[in-house]
Amino acid sequence: MPNKPPLISPGIHAKLETAPVARLATLDAEGKPHAVPICFVWDGSVFYSAIDRKPKRVAPSRLARLKNIKKTPHVALLVDQYDEDWTRLWYVLVRGDVELVSASTERQRAIQHLRAKYPQYDADMLADDAPVLRVTPVRITAWGKI
């Protein structure tokens, strides 16, 4: 039986819907951490992120995050806000399982949501057949002004 997604408050839900960027942390084959900033959408139960057309040093299939999740499909996703006024700081730390979306209908739905959130993606920065990651939360921890 699959795990039920963690319950989150309306405040956390709102932060996850509007935050512009997150950091995705994966583990390489030797257990060493790797973190990258990502664009993402939260649909209320899972997170989606795509491999877009921003310049990369290697082909998408050779990106560390993709190689890492093939070996270890457990990730951390950090969504946060820094502010000079420390009373406004907050973060949401998501620990979860990640996989490449294989179903074309789910991938297209995720890409539509990403394009709606990021105007840059609507300007040909996100291919219709882009690889899409789905992060399913197992545990969500939040702190701060939420």
CATH number attached to the domain at 10-144: 2.30.110.10
Quick check: pTM over 0.85? yes
Q: What is the chain written as a DSSP string?
A: -PPPPPP--HHHHHHHHH-S-EEEEEE-TTS-EEEEEE--EE-SS-EEEE--SS--SS-GGG-HHHHHHHH--EEEEEEEE--SSGGG-EEEEEEEEEEE---HHHHHHHHHHHHHH-HHIIIIIS-TT--EEEEEEEEEEEEE--
Sorted by where each begins, the domain ranges of the chain are 10-144
Q: pLDDT, tens digit, for every residue of 94-103? A: 999 999 999 9
Predicted pLDDT of residue 7: 74
